[in-house]
Copies of this chain bind each other. A is one copy, B any other.
Amino acid sequence: MTKRKLNNLREGIENLPPNPVVLVTVADNIMTAAAFHSYSKNPPCLMVGILPEQFTLELIRREKEFGINIPTADQIETCLTCGTVSGRDADKYEKTKLTPGSSDTISSSLIEECPLNYECTLVHEVDFPGNLQWIIGEVKAVHIDDSYKRDRALLYWGREFYNVGTLIDKW
């Protein structure tokens, strides 16, 4: 295998594989996030990376909570809208026709049309400088549509959206 060394390290980051996109809800706003991962199983925590100037970060710091909503691959238009319009300028529930569903433990809405929703309280901000601010939320409640399977998720990186392929092995 012949490899070349990249001169631009940022290009290196952009060449990473795709990973699950999520919709972050806080107060009455929705934001698409491509920077998301679970942080811990015990305690159950999720983390999301947000640009410092984004309205969503301001709202999460104010509300000390957020929802993580897992979209399916057929919700790509919704993800594009929620990733390109600012909540400072528009009501994204109205724009996307999504339904703001109620939560059990937080005040922010969850997205009814997403088959998997997590209610989180803000517990930490990662203290290392980068272009994203990573925040960690402790999961307080989870709601799942039992017909949901993880191969329905939407993946994204480097300006490309993919769906999940086939199950190739179990461990």
Contact = CB atoms under 8 A, between A and B. Distances in A.
Interface of A: 1-6, 9-20, 35-46, 49, 70, 73, 76, 80, 83, 104, 112-113, 115-118, 123-124, 126-132, 134, 136, 139-146, 148, 150-151, 153, 155-171
A144 B44 contact: no
Given A10-B44, A168-B163, A4 B131 contact: no
Nearest to A113: B1
B169 A161 contact: yes
Contact of A142 (B6, B148, B161): B6
Contacts of A157: 150
A39 to B, nearest CB: 5
A85 to B, nearest CB: 13
B12 A16 contact: no
